[in-house]
């Protein structure tokens, strides 16, 4: 496994029949060749399109993208509370799993340094470095952060005891090169902490057209193990129910490749959702959330449903507009209102929470 790198010649090609959107702003991504590939060995799902890379480079390296990113998120167990910083929760999880205190910490994909700032409260003696790709992000980082900024990993020769990657791997145009660099920079007993979206808990993420890779629990394990990295995986976090969390380090073990769902499974999943939506006869629908999941439903319903309302508990989003539609709090809905829930395997967690507060009906998608 140690020399395995995904290649198109060793992969299955799939035509993706749905529109795709960006993760920041949910703008439509025009993919000339809307193709997905899946490695026949490690099962990683990925895009490889030079025209798409050129388009995404123009997006990710611009000041417009930098200022459009939304970094004030709320976590599941703090939802509807003003104090719900997801950076604070991530830092708490990292503190729980990383011992002893690391001397040097690098965050790959640091953006404005908010997570590093939270980590500095947990690891008071550590040195902090942040890496991101854009000079415009560097300017933003410098305004908000007292830590070292790096815009190129290749010339870096420091060794880090902790490397943090939060929703980073899927946006790397060369997943393998990034993994090799991270492994090179990791100290002999160092740990990589990662938190990623993953398809097992959120199949709708396959509609993100600005990702280069699409992660499942098993294909991610396969890929990292093929680069001699292994460790603990968490898939049932209360704070981040639709995220894959892990702490990996160097390994010399040999592993067998784990099986993972094929792209066809996710295409069939979206097709079933579409069929359920086509059976809706009401002139008014309520969609829970203001995510890419909600965006998928909106695109399928907007031509034939007169009134579409978005529902969200996140106080940061209430009364704001999502594709021209006002976001309202679920408490504003009438009893027995139907709410569309596009959160797949995690729907039951959200519905259990909502059912304790509101009398609503739900269509799980």
Predicted local distance difference test score (pLDDT) of residue 332: 96
Note whether 91 and 236 are same-domain residues. yes
Residue 130 burial (CB < 10 Å; 0-12/13-18/19+)? Answer: buried
Q: What is the pLDDT of residues 96-142, one digit of tens each?
A: 999 999 999 999 999 889 999 999 999 999 999 999 987 777 777 77
Residues 59 and 29: their CA atoms lie apart, in Å, by 11
Instruction: Determine the average pLDDT of the residues in 207-230.
Output: 96
* Domain termination residue (choose one: 209, 235, 250): 250
Predicted local distance difference test score (pLDDT) of residue 229: 98
Residues 225 and 219: their CA atoms lie apart, in Å, by 10
Residues 177 and 104: their CA atoms lie apart, in Å, by 22
Residues 249 and 231: their CA atoms lie apart, in Å, by 6
Note whether 165 and 107 are same-domain residues. yes
Instruction: Determine the average pLDDT of the residues in 322-349.
Output: 95
Residue span of the structural domain in which 308 resides: 280-364
Residues 68 and 88: their CA atoms lie apart, in Å, by 21
Angle at 338 between CA 332 and CA 344, to 5 degrees: 110
Q: What is the CATH number of the domain that holds 314?
A: 3.40.50.720
| Nearest C-alpha neighbor of 38 from the set 15, 8, 18 | 8
Is 255 domain-assigned?
A: no
Note whether 316 and 243 are same-domain residues. no
| pTM of structure | 0.91
Instruction: Count Cα atoms within 13 angstroms, Cβ side, for 244.
Output: 25
Percent of the chain whose pLDDT exceeds 90: 72
Note whether 97 and 210 are same-domain residues. yes
Residue 122 burial (CB < 10 Å; 0-12/13-18/19+)? Answer: middle
* Domain termination residue (choose one: 202, 234, 250): 250
Predicted local distance difference test score (pLDDT) of residue 83: 47
Is 1 domain-assigned?
A: no
Is 93 domain-assigned?
A: yes
Asked if 231 and 190 touch (Cβ cutoff 8 Å), the reply is: no
Look at residue 350 and tell me whether its pLDDT is greater than 70. Answer: yes
Angle at 179 between CA 114 and CA 135, to 5 degrees: 45
Is 97 domain-assigned?
A: yes
Residue of 51 and 62 predicted with greater confidence: 51
Note whether 244 and 189 are same-domain residues. yes
Q: What is the pLDDT of residues 241-259, one digit of tens each?
A: 999 999 999 999 999 999 9
193 C-beta neighbours (distance < 10 Å), count:
22
Confidence of residue 29 (pLDDT cuts 50, 70, 90): confident
How many domains is the chain built from? 2
Is 27 domain-assigned?
A: no
Predicted local distance difference test score (pLDDT) of residue 30: 74
Residue 61 burial (CB < 10 Å; 0-12/13-18/19+)? Answer: middle
Predicted local distance difference test score (pLDDT) of residue 146: 80
Predicted local distance difference test score (pLDDT) of residue 9: 64
Is 107 domain-assigned?
A: yes
Q: What string of H, E and C letters represents the secondary structure of 164-218? A: EEECCHHHCCCHHHHHHHHHHHEEEEEEEEEEEECCCCCHHHHHECCCCEECCHH
Average pLDDT, the chain: 89
* Domain termination residue (choose one: 250, 267, 302): 250
Is 30 domain-assigned?
A: no
Predicted local distance difference test score (pLDDT) of residue 1: 43
In b/e form, how buried is each residue of 83-102, taking b as 16+ CB within 10 angstroms? ebbbbbbbbebbeeebeeeb
Q: What is the pLDDT of residues 146-163, one digit of tens each?
A: 899 988 999 999 999 999
Predicted local distance difference test score (pLDDT) of residue 60: 67
Note whether 213 and 98 are same-domain residues. yes
Predicted local distance difference test score (pLDDT) of residue 80: 44
Look at residue 329 and tell me whether its pLDDT is greater than 90. Answer: yes
Note whether 134 and 215 are same-domain residues. yes
Note whether 120 and 193 are same-domain residues. yes
Structure tokens at 52: 């798409």
Q: What is the CATH number of the domain that holds 204?
A: 3.40.50.150
Note whether 149 and 243 are same-domain residues. yes
Note whether 217 and 287 are same-domain residues. no
Residues 67 and 136: their CA atoms lie apart, in Å, by 9
Instruction: Determine the average pLDDT of the residues in 52-72.
Output: 63
Q: What is the pLDDT of residues 162-207, one digit of tens each?
A: 999 999 999 998 899 999 999 999 999 999 999 999 999 999 999 9
| Nearest C-alpha neighbor of 259 from the set 222, 205, 298, 311 | 222
Note whether 212 and 327 are same-domain residues. no
Confidence of residue 52 (pLDDT cuts 50, 70, 90): confident
Q: 4-8, 182-186, 234-238, 262-266: which range is least confident on average?
A: 4-8
Region of 310 please: left (phi>0), alpha (psi -120 to 50) or beta: beta
Confidence of residue 145 (pLDDT cuts 50, 70, 90): confident
Note whether 246 and 284 are same-domain residues. no
Predicted local distance difference test score (pLDDT) of residue 55: 72
Is 173 domain-assigned?
A: yes
């Amino acid at each position: 496994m140690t020399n395995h790198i995904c290649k198109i010649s060793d992969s299955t090609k799939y035509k993706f029949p749905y529109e795709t959107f960006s993760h920041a702003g949910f703008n439509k991504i025009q993919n000339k060749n809307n193709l997905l590939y899946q490695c026949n060995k490690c099962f990683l799902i990925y895009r490889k399109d030079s025209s798409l890379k050129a388009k995404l480079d123009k997006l990710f390296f611009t000041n417009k993208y930098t200022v459009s990113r939304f970094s004030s998120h709320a976590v599941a167990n703090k939802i509807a509370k003003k104090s719900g910083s997801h950076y604070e929760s991530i830092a708490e999880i990292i503190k729980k799993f990383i011992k002893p205190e690391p001397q040097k910490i690098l965050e790959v994909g640091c953006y404005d340094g908010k997570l590093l700032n939270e980590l500095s409260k947990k690891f008071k003696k550590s040195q902090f470095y942040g890496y991101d790709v854009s000079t415009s992000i560097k300017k933003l980082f410098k305004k908000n952060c007292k830590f070292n900024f790096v815009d190129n990993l290749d010339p870096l020769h420091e060794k880090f005891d902790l490397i943090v990657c939060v929703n980073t791997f899927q946006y790397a145009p060369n997943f393998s090169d990034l993994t090799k660099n991270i492994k090179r920079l990791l100290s002999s007993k160092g740990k990589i902490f990662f938190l990623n979206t993953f398809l097992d808990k959120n199949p709708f993420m396959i509609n993100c057209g600005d990702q280069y890779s699409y992660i499942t629990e098993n294909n991610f394990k396969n890929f990292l193990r093929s680069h001699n990295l292994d460790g603990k995986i968490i898939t049932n976090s209360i704070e981040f129910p639709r995220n894959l969390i892990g702490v990996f380090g160097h390994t010399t073990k040999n592993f067998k490749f784990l099986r993972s769902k094929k792209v066809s499974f996710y295409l069939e999943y979206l097709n079933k959702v579409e069929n359920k939506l086509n059976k809706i006869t009401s002139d008014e629908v309520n969609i829970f959330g203001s995510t890419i999941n909600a965006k998928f439903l909106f695109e399928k319903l907007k031509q034939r449903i007169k009134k579409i309302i978005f529902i969200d508990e996140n106080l940061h989003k209430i009364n704001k507009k999502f594709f021209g539609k006002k976001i309202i709090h679920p408490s504003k809905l009438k009893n027995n209102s139907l709410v569309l829930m596009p959160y797949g395997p995690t729907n039951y967690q959200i519905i259990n929470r909502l059912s304790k507060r509101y009398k609503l009906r739900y269509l799980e998608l």
